[in-house]
Amino acid sequence: MKIKHLLLLSLFSFVIVSCVKEISNKQSHESPAAVSASMPVSSASTKPSAQSQASTVIKSGSFVSGEHPTQGTIRITNKNGKSFLELEQSFKTSELGPDLVVILHRSDNVINSTKPPSYPLKKGEYIILAPLQKYSGAQTYSIPNKINLADYKSAAIWCRKFNATFGAANLSI
């Protein structure tokens, strides 16, 4: 009985390996035009003109640690009339918090205007842009047009669940 199971397993493995090998050989022999013709082309993959790619830096700053170590630079840019908050490649924060969000804050010094250890925020002083995409590296967040950027002087990484500010950056021109 064990031999029968072993033979079935071997046969099954052989068939799977043969199929995978045949598919990979078939794909490598197709012309690039045939491969790209079978893939949908999105408008985002087309290159916009140089004029539409230009972005203007409106404000920028560097993170100061609050509840947890947070570092890196941040900037708010405007591209084609749309504002974005960009965390640069140097950005890094702790992975210890649940429910981390990126916010804009009315204070120009969030960390010193709150109290340790958690540096809690008061309702009405901030607006949430989006959940944090990743704990380090470059990332971009769209800022809704209805937000008046002149009202917000800082950006922060905030743990909504525990009302703890991980780090904040004063945004200046």
pTM of the model: 0.67
Do 74 and 152 fall into the same domain?
A: yes
Cβ partners under 8 Å of residue 145, min gap 6 = 82, 83
User: Residue 114 in contact with residue 90, Cβ under 8 Å?
Assistant: no
Do 80 and 17 fall into the same domain?
A: no
Residues 101, 87: Cα–Cα separation, whole Å: 13
Is 96 within a domain?
A: yes
How many separate helices (H) and strands (E) can be counted in the chain?
3, 10
Do 15 and 63 fall into the same domain?
A: no
Do 101 and 31 fall into the same domain?
A: no
Do 59 and 32 fall into the same domain?
A: no
Q: How many domains does the chain have?
A: 2
- For the segment 71-120, what is each residue's pLDDT rounded down to a tens digit? 999 999 999 999 999 999 999 999 998 999 999 999 998 998 888 887 88
Low-confidence ranges of the chain (pLDDT < 50): 15, 17, 19-52
Instruction: Name the one residue in this structure whose structure tokens are 């609050």.
Output: 66
